[in-house]
Amino acid sequence: MLNKIVPIRNSRGICIPKAMLEHCGFGEEVDLQAKNGALILRPFNVPRTDWAEAFGGMAAAKDDRLVHENAPTATRFDAEEWKRSCSGSTCGW
């Protein structure tokens, strides 16, 4: 799509059609980067922004216990073999 760059106060900008913004998932803020002679525009989304509130509600409702209360404990492999086979920066797989 060909678009004109227009003056906006002390800057310049372009008009992006609403349908295109909605299609790409843009909200009120964007992530703008210049790379290899191109402008890259991405939706700005902060992942998991509502998790703290959701977990707080779960704790208040006493719905924050472990899913598997009888989860298996560490085995001999966890305690010994794992340390022996993965010493330093290399694993012996």
pLDDT digits (tens, 9 = 90+) for 78-90: 777 766 555 555 5
SS3 25: coil
How do residues 41-51 score in pLDDT, each as one tens digit?
999 877 777 88
Q: In the chain, where does DSSP find H-type helix?
A: 18-24, 51-60, 76, 82-85
Q: What is the CATH number of domain 1-66?
A: 2.10.260
- Angle among Cα 30, 22, 27 to the nearest 5 degrees reads 35
pTM as predicted: 0.46
